[in-house]
Chains A and B, each alone.
Chain A
Amino acid sequence: MDNTFIFAGFGGQGVILAGKLLAQAGADYGLEVTWLPSYGPEMRGGTANCTVVLSDEPIGSPVVDNPSALVAMNLPSLERFEKAVVEAGTVVVNSSLVTRRVERNDVTELTIPANDIAASLGNPRAANMVALGALVKATGIFPLDIIKRAMVRMLSDKGSGKLIEVNERALEAGYEAV
Protein backbone atom coordinates (compact mmCIF):
# COMPACT_ATOMS: atom_id res chain seq x y z
CA MET A 1 0.00 0.00 0.00
CA ASP A 2 1.35 3.42 -0.96
CA ASN A 3 1.31 6.30 1.49
CA THR A 4 1.51 9.50 -0.49
CA PHE A 5 2.17 12.97 0.86
CA ILE A 6 2.21 16.47 -0.52
CA PHE A 7 3.93 19.25 1.42
CA ALA A 8 3.13 22.68 0.05
CA GLY A 9 3.80 26.29 0.99
CA PHE A 10 5.73 29.44 0.16
CA GLY A 11 9.36 29.02 -0.83
CA GLY A 12 11.31 29.48 2.42
CA GLN A 13 8.70 27.78 4.64
CA GLY A 14 10.74 24.62 4.64
CA VAL A 15 8.30 22.31 2.87
CA ILE A 16 11.07 20.85 0.72
CA LEU A 17 13.14 20.05 3.81
CA ALA A 18 10.14 18.62 5.70
CA GLY A 19 9.43 16.31 2.76
CA LYS A 20 13.08 15.27 2.56
CA LEU A 21 13.05 14.42 6.22
CA LEU A 22 9.93 12.29 5.86
CA ALA A 23 11.52 10.51 2.88
CA GLN A 24 14.79 9.93 4.75
CA ALA A 25 12.92 8.61 7.78
CA GLY A 26 10.89 6.31 5.52
CA ALA A 27 14.08 4.89 4.03
CA ASP A 28 15.55 4.45 7.54
CA TYR A 29 12.35 2.62 8.50
CA GLY A 30 12.94 0.16 5.65
CA LEU A 31 10.32 1.47 3.22
CA GLU A 32 10.62 2.17 -0.49
CA VAL A 33 10.74 5.95 -0.96
CA THR A 34 10.58 8.63 -3.62
CA TRP A 35 10.88 12.38 -3.09
CA LEU A 36 9.94 14.72 -5.90
CA PRO A 37 10.21 18.51 -5.59
CA SER A 38 8.42 21.13 -7.61
CA TYR A 39 9.41 24.73 -7.33
CA GLY A 40 10.30 27.76 -9.36
CA PRO A 41 13.85 29.02 -9.83
CA GLU A 42 13.47 31.49 -6.95
CA MET A 43 14.65 30.45 -3.48
CA ARG A 44 12.11 32.38 -1.40
CA GLY A 45 8.67 33.83 -1.90
CA GLY A 46 7.48 31.63 -4.76
CA THR A 47 5.41 28.53 -4.26
CA ALA A 48 7.03 25.23 -3.51
CA ASN A 49 5.79 21.73 -2.97
CA CYS A 50 7.14 18.24 -2.83
CA THR A 51 5.62 14.80 -3.13
CA VAL A 52 6.76 11.88 -1.00
CA VAL A 53 5.74 8.28 -1.64
CA LEU A 54 6.36 5.63 1.02
CA SER A 55 5.56 2.06 0.15
CA ASP A 56 6.35 -1.49 1.16
CA GLU A 57 6.71 -2.43 -2.51
CA PRO A 58 8.72 -0.90 -5.39
CA ILE A 59 7.31 2.51 -6.32
CA GLY A 60 6.00 3.20 -9.80
CA SER A 61 5.03 6.81 -10.21
CA PRO A 62 6.64 9.45 -7.98
CA VAL A 63 3.95 11.77 -9.39
CA VAL A 64 0.76 11.52 -7.36
CA ASP A 65 -2.77 12.44 -8.44
CA ASN A 66 -4.39 11.95 -5.05
CA PRO A 67 -2.22 12.14 -1.93
CA SER A 68 -3.28 10.32 1.22
CA ALA A 69 -2.11 13.33 3.23
CA LEU A 70 -1.56 17.02 2.56
CA VAL A 71 0.38 19.55 4.60
CA ALA A 72 -0.78 23.04 3.59
CA MET A 73 1.49 25.69 5.05
CA ASN A 74 -0.40 28.58 3.42
CA LEU A 75 -3.73 29.36 1.77
CA PRO A 76 -2.71 28.96 -1.90
CA SER A 77 -1.47 25.47 -1.04
CA LEU A 78 -4.77 24.49 0.56
CA GLU A 79 -6.73 25.88 -2.39
CA ARG A 80 -4.57 24.07 -4.90
CA PHE A 81 -4.42 20.62 -3.31
CA GLU A 82 -7.47 20.27 -1.02
CA LYS A 83 -9.65 18.66 -3.69
CA ALA A 84 -6.94 16.17 -4.65
CA VAL A 85 -6.65 14.48 -1.25
CA VAL A 86 -8.10 10.95 -1.18
CA GLU A 87 -11.35 10.28 0.61
CA ALA A 88 -10.70 9.71 4.33
CA GLY A 89 -7.26 11.28 3.84
CA THR A 90 -5.56 13.73 6.17
CA VAL A 91 -5.14 17.48 5.75
CA VAL A 92 -2.77 19.32 8.08
CA VAL A 93 -3.50 23.05 7.88
CA ASN A 94 -1.11 25.67 9.23
CA SER A 95 -3.78 27.73 10.97
CA SER A 96 -1.29 30.48 11.85
CA LEU A 97 -1.50 31.57 8.21
CA VAL A 98 -4.60 29.87 6.87
CA THR A 99 -7.72 31.39 8.33
CA ARG A 100 -10.32 29.27 6.58
CA ARG A 101 -11.29 25.69 7.36
CA VAL A 102 -11.10 22.72 5.00
CA GLU A 103 -14.23 22.73 2.83
CA ARG A 104 -14.57 18.96 2.54
CA ASN A 105 -16.14 16.81 5.22
CA ASP A 106 -14.77 13.46 3.99
CA VAL A 107 -11.19 14.08 5.15
CA THR A 108 -9.60 14.44 8.58
CA GLU A 109 -8.70 18.08 9.15
CA LEU A 110 -5.99 19.04 11.63
CA THR A 111 -5.60 22.73 12.28
CA ILE A 112 -2.17 23.32 13.75
CA PRO A 113 -0.95 26.88 14.46
CA ALA A 114 2.50 25.85 13.30
CA ASN A 115 4.08 29.31 13.15
CA ASP A 116 2.73 30.29 16.56
CA ILE A 117 3.91 27.06 18.17
CA ALA A 118 7.33 27.43 16.56
CA ALA A 119 7.57 31.07 17.68
CA SER A 120 6.73 30.06 21.25
CA LEU A 121 9.69 27.66 21.08
CA GLY A 122 11.95 30.53 20.06
CA ASN A 123 12.31 29.88 16.31
CA PRO A 124 9.37 30.68 14.00
CA ARG A 125 11.22 29.03 11.13
CA ALA A 126 10.68 25.63 12.73
CA ALA A 127 6.99 25.74 11.72
CA ASN A 128 7.70 23.07 9.11
CA MET A 129 8.88 20.68 11.84
CA VAL A 130 5.75 21.39 13.90
CA ALA A 131 3.59 20.46 10.90
CA LEU A 132 5.69 17.35 10.25
CA GLY A 133 5.33 16.24 13.86
CA ALA A 134 1.55 16.63 13.56
CA LEU A 135 1.52 14.67 10.30
CA VAL A 136 3.48 11.80 11.83
CA LYS A 137 1.06 11.56 14.75
CA ALA A 138 -2.06 11.87 12.58
CA THR A 139 -1.03 9.26 10.02
CA GLY A 140 0.76 6.90 12.41
CA ILE A 141 3.22 5.96 9.65
CA PHE A 142 6.08 5.40 12.07
CA PRO A 143 7.22 6.48 15.54
CA LEU A 144 8.38 10.08 15.98
CA ASP A 145 11.83 8.81 16.99
CA ILE A 146 12.51 7.71 13.40
CA ILE A 147 11.96 11.29 12.19
CA LYS A 148 13.98 12.75 15.05
CA ARG A 149 16.97 10.56 14.30
CA ALA A 150 16.80 11.40 10.59
CA MET A 151 16.59 15.12 11.46
CA VAL A 152 19.62 14.97 13.77
CA ARG A 153 21.65 13.25 11.06
CA MET A 154 20.50 15.58 8.28
CA LEU A 155 21.19 18.78 10.23
CA SER A 156 24.56 17.48 11.48
CA ASP A 157 25.55 16.67 7.88
CA LYS A 158 24.57 20.20 6.84
CA GLY A 159 26.66 21.69 9.66
CA SER A 160 23.48 23.04 11.30
CA GLY A 161 23.95 21.16 14.56
CA LYS A 162 22.91 24.16 16.67
CA LEU A 163 19.39 23.93 15.21
CA ILE A 164 18.87 20.34 16.32
CA GLU A 165 17.42 21.13 19.73
CA VAL A 166 14.76 23.58 18.56
CA ASN A 167 13.76 21.32 15.68
CA GLU A 168 13.44 18.40 18.05
CA ARG A 169 11.18 20.41 20.31
CA ALA A 170 9.17 21.59 17.30
CA LEU A 171 8.62 18.01 16.11
CA GLU A 172 7.49 17.04 19.62
CA ALA A 173 5.20 20.04 19.95
CA GLY A 174 3.53 19.27 16.61
CA TYR A 175 3.15 15.64 17.63
CA GLU A 176 1.53 16.65 20.93
CA ALA A 177 -0.76 19.19 19.26
CA VAL A 178 -2.80 16.47 17.54
Chain B
Amino acid sequence: MAEAGIRAGCRAYFGYPITPQNELLEYMAAHMPKVGGIFIQAESEVAAINMCYGASAAGARTMTSSSSPGISLKMEGISYLAGADLPTVLINVVRGGPGLGNIAPAQGDYFQATKGGGHGDYRMIVLAPATIPESIELVMLAFELADRYRVPVMVLADGMLGQMMEPVLFPEPVDPAALPAKPWAITGARGRRPNRISSYFLDPAELSARNVKRQRRYQQIEEQEIRYEEHETADATLVVAAYGSVARIARTAVRMARSEGIKLGLLRPITVWPFPYSPLRALSRRVDAILTVEMNAGQMVEDVRLAVAERAETPFYGKLGGLVPTPKDILREVKRYAS
Protein backbone atom coordinates (compact mmCIF):
# COMPACT_ATOMS: atom_id res chain seq x y z
CA MET B 1 0.00 0.00 0.00
CA ALA B 2 2.95 2.29 0.74
CA GLU B 3 4.49 1.57 -2.66
CA ALA B 4 1.09 2.11 -4.29
CA GLY B 5 0.94 5.51 -2.61
CA ILE B 6 4.35 6.47 -3.98
CA ARG B 7 3.33 5.23 -7.44
CA ALA B 8 0.16 7.30 -7.22
CA GLY B 9 2.36 10.37 -6.98
CA CYS B 10 2.23 10.85 -3.22
CA ARG B 11 5.32 12.76 -2.13
CA ALA B 12 4.26 13.67 1.40
CA TYR B 13 3.61 11.00 4.01
CA PHE B 14 3.04 11.73 7.68
CA GLY B 15 2.48 9.03 10.26
CA TYR B 16 2.93 7.71 13.75
CA PRO B 17 3.69 4.05 14.51
CA ILE B 18 1.04 1.56 15.59
CA THR B 19 0.69 -2.18 15.00
CA PRO B 20 -0.50 -3.74 12.67
CA GLN B 21 0.58 -1.15 10.09
CA ASN B 22 4.18 -0.31 11.04
CA GLU B 23 5.49 -1.97 7.88
CA LEU B 24 3.79 0.81 5.93
CA LEU B 25 5.56 3.51 7.93
CA GLU B 26 8.90 1.70 7.64
CA TYR B 27 8.50 1.34 3.89
CA MET B 28 7.73 5.03 3.54
CA ALA B 29 10.73 5.95 5.71
CA ALA B 30 13.00 3.91 3.45
CA HIS B 31 11.54 4.78 0.06
CA MET B 32 10.05 8.29 0.20
CA PRO B 33 13.50 9.96 0.27
CA LYS B 34 14.49 7.99 -2.86
CA VAL B 35 11.78 9.71 -4.90
CA GLY B 36 12.46 13.14 -3.42
CA GLY B 37 9.41 12.96 -1.18
CA ILE B 38 8.79 13.88 2.44
CA PHE B 39 8.52 11.30 5.20
CA ILE B 40 7.85 12.58 8.68
CA GLN B 41 7.28 10.47 11.74
CA ALA B 42 5.16 13.00 13.54
CA GLU B 43 4.99 13.47 17.31
CA SER B 44 1.44 12.09 17.33
CA GLU B 45 -1.41 10.97 15.09
CA VAL B 46 -3.04 14.38 15.56
CA ALA B 47 0.09 16.09 14.27
CA ALA B 48 0.32 13.70 11.31
CA ILE B 49 -3.21 14.37 10.04
CA ASN B 50 -2.70 18.11 10.43
CA MET B 51 0.53 17.87 8.44
CA CYS B 52 -1.61 16.24 5.73
CA TYR B 53 -3.91 19.27 5.96
CA GLY B 54 -1.02 21.65 5.45
CA ALA B 55 0.67 19.79 2.62
CA SER B 56 -2.67 19.13 0.87
CA ALA B 57 -3.48 22.84 1.10
CA ALA B 58 -0.18 23.45 -0.68
CA GLY B 59 -1.33 21.14 -3.47
CA ALA B 60 0.60 17.93 -2.68
CA ARG B 61 -0.77 14.42 -2.81
CA THR B 62 -0.66 13.48 0.88
CA MET B 63 -1.13 10.32 2.83
CA THR B 64 -1.26 9.10 6.39
CA SER B 65 -1.93 5.69 7.86
CA SER B 66 -2.71 4.22 11.22
CA SER B 67 -4.76 1.59 12.98
CA SER B 68 -8.02 1.97 14.90
CA PRO B 69 -6.97 3.85 18.09
CA GLY B 70 -4.70 6.08 16.01
CA ILE B 71 -7.46 6.75 13.50
CA SER B 72 -9.72 7.88 16.37
CA LEU B 73 -7.10 10.51 17.20
CA LYS B 74 -7.13 11.71 13.59
CA MET B 75 -10.89 12.28 13.52
CA GLU B 76 -10.75 15.97 14.36
CA GLY B 77 -8.25 16.52 11.55
CA ILE B 78 -10.39 14.57 9.08
CA SER B 79 -13.35 16.81 9.85
CA TYR B 80 -11.16 19.90 9.25
CA LEU B 81 -9.88 18.47 5.95
CA ALA B 82 -13.46 17.77 4.86
CA GLY B 83 -14.55 21.25 5.98
CA ALA B 84 -11.72 22.85 4.01
CA ASP B 85 -12.45 20.68 0.93
CA LEU B 86 -8.97 19.19 1.01
CA PRO B 87 -8.01 15.84 -0.48
CA THR B 88 -5.92 13.33 1.45
CA VAL B 89 -5.60 9.56 1.59
CA LEU B 90 -5.84 7.73 4.91
CA ILE B 91 -5.27 4.06 5.46
CA ASN B 92 -6.88 2.37 8.44
CA VAL B 93 -5.51 -1.11 9.11
CA VAL B 94 -8.33 -1.95 11.50
CA ARG B 95 -7.54 -3.91 14.67
CA GLY B 96 -9.60 -5.29 17.55
CA GLY B 97 -11.32 -2.71 19.75
CA PRO B 98 -12.80 -0.71 21.34
CA GLY B 99 -10.12 1.10 23.29
CA LEU B 100 -6.62 -0.24 22.92
CA GLY B 101 -8.14 -3.62 21.99
CA ASN B 102 -5.57 -5.88 20.36
CA ILE B 103 -3.58 -6.18 17.15
CA ALA B 104 -5.73 -8.84 15.46
CA PRO B 105 -7.89 -8.27 12.35
CA ALA B 106 -11.29 -6.63 12.92
CA GLN B 107 -13.95 -4.52 11.20
CA GLY B 108 -15.25 -2.60 14.20
CA ASP B 109 -14.46 0.78 12.61
CA TYR B 110 -17.11 0.58 9.88
CA PHE B 111 -19.45 3.04 11.59
CA GLN B 112 -16.59 5.45 12.28
CA ALA B 113 -15.40 5.30 8.68
CA THR B 114 -18.73 5.46 6.86
CA LYS B 115 -20.95 7.51 9.15
CA GLY B 116 -18.49 10.24 10.09
CA GLY B 117 -16.29 9.69 13.15
CA GLY B 118 -15.48 13.39 13.28
CA HIS B 119 -17.93 16.23 13.78
CA GLY B 120 -20.04 18.06 11.24
CA ASP B 121 -21.87 17.20 8.05
CA TYR B 122 -19.17 15.48 6.09
CA ARG B 123 -18.56 12.31 4.14
CA MET B 124 -15.46 10.37 3.26
CA ILE B 125 -15.12 8.02 0.33
CA VAL B 126 -14.26 4.66 1.93
CA LEU B 127 -12.68 1.91 -0.16
CA ALA B 128 -12.52 -1.64 1.23
CA PRO B 129 -9.96 -3.94 -0.42
CA ALA B 130 -10.27 -7.72 -0.02
CA THR B 131 -6.83 -8.78 -1.26
CA ILE B 132 -3.33 -7.34 -1.46
CA PRO B 133 -3.49 -6.79 -5.24
CA GLU B 134 -6.76 -4.95 -4.73
CA SER B 135 -5.26 -2.87 -1.92
CA ILE B 136 -2.76 -1.52 -4.43
CA GLU B 137 -5.44 -0.80 -7.00
CA LEU B 138 -7.61 0.99 -4.43
CA VAL B 139 -4.78 3.07 -2.96
CA MET B 140 -4.05 4.33 -6.49
CA LEU B 141 -7.77 5.01 -7.01
CA ALA B 142 -8.04 6.74 -3.62
CA PHE B 143 -5.62 9.47 -4.76
CA GLU B 144 -7.55 9.99 -8.00
CA LEU B 145 -10.89 10.28 -6.20
CA ALA B 146 -9.50 12.50 -3.43
CA ASP B 147 -8.21 15.01 -5.99
CA ARG B 148 -11.25 14.76 -8.28
CA TYR B 149 -13.77 15.50 -5.51
CA ARG B 150 -11.52 17.33 -3.05
CA VAL B 151 -12.43 14.97 -0.21
CA PRO B 152 -10.51 12.80 2.22
CA VAL B 153 -10.56 9.17 1.06
CA MET B 154 -10.05 6.27 3.44
CA VAL B 155 -8.79 2.83 2.52
CA LEU B 156 -10.42 0.59 5.10
CA ALA B 157 -8.19 -2.46 5.48
CA ASP B 158 -7.78 -4.79 8.45
CA GLY B 159 -5.05 -6.56 10.40
CA MET B 160 -5.20 -9.52 8.05
CA LEU B 161 -4.44 -7.43 4.98
CA GLY B 162 -1.82 -5.62 7.07
CA GLN B 163 0.08 -8.79 7.96
CA MET B 164 -0.37 -11.23 5.08
CA MET B 165 1.60 -11.56 1.86
CA GLU B 166 0.50 -12.21 -1.69
CA PRO B 167 2.31 -11.72 -5.00
CA VAL B 168 1.41 -8.47 -6.77
CA LEU B 169 2.11 -6.64 -10.01
CA PHE B 170 2.48 -2.89 -9.61
CA PRO B 171 1.00 -0.48 -12.13
CA GLU B 172 3.23 2.10 -13.81
CA PRO B 173 3.96 5.07 -11.52
CA VAL B 174 2.16 8.36 -11.97
CA ASP B 175 4.40 11.38 -12.59
CA PRO B 176 3.44 13.94 -9.91
CA ALA B 177 4.46 16.76 -12.27
CA ALA B 178 1.94 15.55 -14.87
CA LEU B 179 -1.07 15.63 -12.50
CA PRO B 180 -3.87 18.13 -13.17
CA ALA B 181 -3.21 21.59 -11.71
CA LYS B 182 -4.89 22.58 -8.45
CA PRO B 183 -5.82 26.23 -8.98
CA TRP B 184 -7.29 26.34 -5.45
CA ALA B 185 -4.03 25.41 -3.74
CA ILE B 186 -1.89 27.78 -1.68
CA THR B 187 1.18 28.09 -3.85
CA GLY B 188 2.17 31.73 -3.39
CA ALA B 189 -0.19 34.35 -4.77
CA ARG B 190 2.18 35.89 -7.31
CA GLY B 191 0.14 37.28 -10.21
CA ARG B 192 -3.20 36.12 -8.88
CA ARG B 193 -5.64 36.72 -6.05
CA PRO B 194 -4.69 34.88 -2.86
CA ASN B 195 -6.42 31.54 -2.23
CA ARG B 196 -7.87 30.97 1.20
CA ILE B 197 -8.28 27.52 2.69
CA SER B 198 -10.26 27.24 5.90
CA SER B 199 -13.18 25.45 7.49
CA TYR B 200 -14.03 28.51 9.59
CA PHE B 201 -16.96 30.62 8.36
CA LEU B 202 -18.72 32.65 11.02
CA ASP B 203 -21.50 33.85 8.76
CA PRO B 204 -24.21 31.15 8.76
CA ALA B 205 -25.29 32.05 5.22
CA GLU B 206 -21.76 31.58 3.90
CA LEU B 207 -21.21 28.35 5.84
CA SER B 208 -24.57 27.07 4.65
CA ALA B 209 -23.72 27.85 1.01
CA ARG B 210 -20.42 25.99 1.32
CA ASN B 211 -22.16 23.01 2.91
CA VAL B 212 -24.84 22.90 0.24
CA LYS B 213 -22.18 22.96 -2.46
CA ARG B 214 -20.26 20.19 -0.72
CA GLN B 215 -23.38 18.06 -0.35
CA ARG B 216 -23.91 18.34 -4.11
CA ARG B 217 -20.45 16.89 -4.59
CA TYR B 218 -21.32 14.05 -2.21
CA GLN B 219 -24.44 13.39 -4.25
CA GLN B 220 -22.34 13.27 -7.40
CA ILE B 221 -20.04 10.76 -5.68
CA GLU B 222 -23.05 8.60 -4.78
CA GLU B 223 -24.20 8.71 -8.39
CA GLN B 224 -20.84 7.95 -9.97
CA GLU B 225 -18.51 6.13 -7.65
CA ILE B 226 -20.34 3.12 -6.21
CA ARG B 227 -18.24 0.01 -6.70
CA TYR B 228 -19.10 -3.57 -5.78
CA GLU B 229 -18.60 -7.11 -6.93
CA GLU B 230 -21.22 -9.84 -7.38
CA HIS B 231 -20.02 -13.43 -7.42
CA GLU B 232 -22.30 -16.38 -8.33
CA THR B 233 -25.43 -14.33 -7.70
CA ALA B 234 -27.20 -15.07 -11.02
CA ASP B 235 -29.08 -18.14 -9.76
CA ALA B 236 -28.52 -17.62 -6.02
CA THR B 237 -31.31 -18.15 -3.50
CA LEU B 238 -29.08 -17.01 -0.66
CA VAL B 239 -26.39 -14.33 -0.69
CA VAL B 240 -23.61 -13.43 1.70
CA ALA B 241 -22.87 -9.70 1.98
CA ALA B 242 -19.33 -9.07 3.21
CA TYR B 243 -16.50 -6.61 2.63
CA GLY B 244 -12.72 -6.73 2.98
CA SER B 245 -10.92 -9.86 4.20
CA VAL B 246 -14.21 -11.46 5.23
CA ALA B 247 -15.44 -11.29 1.64
CA ARG B 248 -12.57 -13.38 0.36
CA ILE B 249 -13.12 -15.93 3.12
CA ALA B 250 -16.80 -15.97 2.13
CA ARG B 251 -15.78 -16.62 -1.47
CA THR B 252 -14.36 -19.97 -0.39
CA ALA B 253 -17.58 -20.63 1.54
CA VAL B 254 -19.50 -19.99 -1.71
CA ARG B 255 -17.42 -22.64 -3.47
CA MET B 256 -17.99 -25.11 -0.62
CA ALA B 257 -21.73 -24.41 -0.53
CA ARG B 258 -22.05 -24.80 -4.30
CA SER B 259 -20.30 -28.18 -4.14
CA GLU B 260 -23.04 -29.26 -1.74
CA GLY B 261 -25.80 -27.96 -4.02
CA ILE B 262 -26.57 -24.78 -2.05
CA LYS B 263 -27.12 -21.86 -4.43
CA LEU B 264 -25.04 -19.33 -2.54
CA GLY B 265 -23.78 -16.04 -3.96
CA LEU B 266 -21.66 -13.19 -2.66
CA LEU B 267 -22.15 -9.44 -2.81
CA ARG B 268 -19.04 -7.52 -1.88
CA PRO B 269 -19.17 -3.74 -1.50
CA ILE B 270 -15.86 -2.26 -2.66
CA THR B 271 -16.96 1.25 -1.73
CA VAL B 272 -18.60 1.09 1.68
CA TRP B 273 -19.32 4.79 1.28
CA PRO B 274 -20.95 5.36 -1.10
CA PHE B 275 -22.73 2.11 -0.26
CA PRO B 276 -24.18 -0.14 -3.01
CA TYR B 277 -27.80 0.10 -1.88
CA SER B 278 -29.35 -0.48 -5.32
CA PRO B 279 -27.65 -3.78 -6.21
CA LEU B 280 -28.65 -5.10 -2.79
CA ARG B 281 -32.20 -3.86 -3.32
CA ALA B 282 -32.29 -5.65 -6.68
CA LEU B 283 -30.94 -8.86 -5.13
CA SER B 284 -33.44 -8.72 -2.29
CA ARG B 285 -36.28 -9.05 -4.82
CA ARG B 286 -35.11 -12.50 -5.95
CA VAL B 287 -33.32 -14.19 -3.04
CA ASP B 288 -34.68 -15.60 0.21
CA ALA B 289 -32.03 -14.19 2.50
CA ILE B 290 -28.98 -11.96 2.57
CA LEU B 291 -26.59 -13.02 5.33
CA THR B 292 -24.21 -10.26 6.37
CA VAL B 293 -20.89 -11.49 7.76
CA GLU B 294 -18.53 -9.08 9.50
CA MET B 295 -15.73 -9.05 12.06
CA ASN B 296 -17.82 -6.87 14.38
CA ALA B 297 -21.12 -6.95 16.25
CA GLY B 298 -23.16 -5.86 13.21
CA GLN B 299 -22.37 -2.56 11.52
CA MET B 300 -22.59 -2.87 7.72
CA VAL B 301 -25.68 -5.02 8.29
CA GLU B 302 -27.54 -1.78 9.11
CA ASP B 303 -26.87 -0.55 5.57
CA VAL B 304 -27.84 -3.95 4.16
CA ARG B 305 -31.14 -3.81 6.05
CA LEU B 306 -31.74 -0.27 4.82
CA ALA B 307 -31.35 -1.51 1.24
CA VAL B 308 -33.32 -4.73 1.65
CA ALA B 309 -36.16 -3.33 3.79
CA GLU B 310 -38.47 -6.29 4.44
CA ARG B 311 -38.10 -7.96 1.04
CA ALA B 312 -35.80 -10.75 2.26
CA GLU B 313 -34.46 -12.13 5.51
CA THR B 314 -31.36 -10.25 6.70
CA PRO B 315 -29.59 -12.36 9.30
CA PHE B 316 -26.20 -11.41 10.67
CA TYR B 317 -23.11 -13.40 11.66
CA GLY B 318 -20.19 -11.70 13.35
CA LYS B 319 -16.90 -12.51 15.04
CA LEU B 320 -15.65 -10.10 17.68
CA GLY B 321 -12.46 -8.96 19.33
CA GLY B 322 -10.02 -9.92 16.58
CA LEU B 323 -11.37 -13.42 15.84
CA VAL B 324 -11.55 -14.23 12.14
CA PRO B 325 -14.34 -16.39 10.69
CA THR B 326 -13.19 -19.41 8.68
CA PRO B 327 -14.90 -20.65 5.50
CA LYS B 328 -16.51 -23.46 7.53
CA ASP B 329 -17.87 -20.99 10.11
CA ILE B 330 -19.59 -19.09 7.31
CA LEU B 331 -20.85 -22.28 5.64
CA ARG B 332 -22.34 -23.50 8.92
CA GLU B 333 -24.21 -20.22 9.28
CA VAL B 334 -25.35 -20.33 5.63
CA LYS B 335 -26.85 -23.78 6.17
CA ARG B 336 -29.13 -22.43 8.89
CA TYR B 337 -30.89 -20.33 6.25
CA ALA B 338 -30.52 -22.60 3.20
CA SER B 339 -33.59 -24.76 3.56
Contacts and interface: CB of A to CB of B under 8 A. Distances in A.
Interface of A: 20, 23, 27, 32-37, 41, 59-65
Nearest to A64: B326
A63 B166 contact: no
B160 A62 contact: yes
A35 to B, nearest CB: 4
Interface of B: 19, 103, 160, 163-167, 248-255, 324-328
B165 A23 contact: yes
A34 B132 CA distance: 9
B164 A35 contact: yes
Contacts of A20: 165
Interface on chain B toward A: helix, strand, loop, or mixed SS? helix
B273 to A, nearest CB: 25
Contacts of A27: 167
B326 A60 contact: no
B324 A34 contact: no
A33 B249 contact: no
A44 B255 CA distance: 38
A26 to B, nearest CB: 9
B160 A60 contact: no
B326 A41 contact: no
Given A60-B249, A60-B255, A61-B248, A33 B326 contact: no
B166 A60 contact: no
Nearest to B324: A63
A7 to B, nearest CB: 14
B251 A34 contact: no
A41 B255 CA distance: 34
Contacts of B325: 63
5 contacts: A20-B165, A33-B165, A34-B166, A61-B253, A62-B164
Contacts of B255: 60
Contact of B249 (A32, A37, A41, A61): A61
B327 A34 contact: no
A60 B19 contact: no
Contacts of A65: 326-328
Given A36-B160, A41-B19, A41-B103, A63 B249 contact: yes
A34 B324 CA distance: 16
A63 to B, nearest CB: 5
B248 A60 contact: yes
A85 B251 CA distance: 21
Contacts of B326: 61, 63-65
B248 to A, nearest CB: 5
Contacts of A64: 326
Contacts of A41: 19, 103
Contact of A34 (B19, B165, B254): B165
A63 B164 CA distance: 11
Given A33-B167, A34-B166, A61-B249, 11 more contacts: A34-B165, A35-B164, A36-B163, A59-B248, A60-B251, A60-B254, A61-B326, A63-B324, A64-B326, A65-B327, A65-B328
Residue picked from B163, B250, B253, most chain A C-beta under 10 Å: B163
Top 3 nearest A-B pairs (CB, nearest first) are A60-B252, A60-B251, A61-B252
Given A61-B249, A62-B248, A63-B249, A35 B165 contact: yes
B164 A37 contact: yes
B143 to A, nearest CB: 26
A33 B251 contact: no
Contacts of A63: 160, 249, 324-327
A6 to B, nearest CB: 12
Contacts of A36: 160, 163-164
Contact of B166 (A33, A37, A61): A33
A167 B185 CA distance: 56
Residue picked from B19, B167, B253, most chain A C-beta under 10 Å: B167
Contacts of A37: 163-164
A35 B252 contact: no
Contacts of A34: 164-166
A32 B103 CA distance: 27
Contact of B327 (A23, A32, A33, A60): A60
Contacts of B167: 27, 32-33
Nearest to A27: B167
Contacts of B163: 36-37
A4 to B, nearest CB: 11
Contacts of B251: 60-61
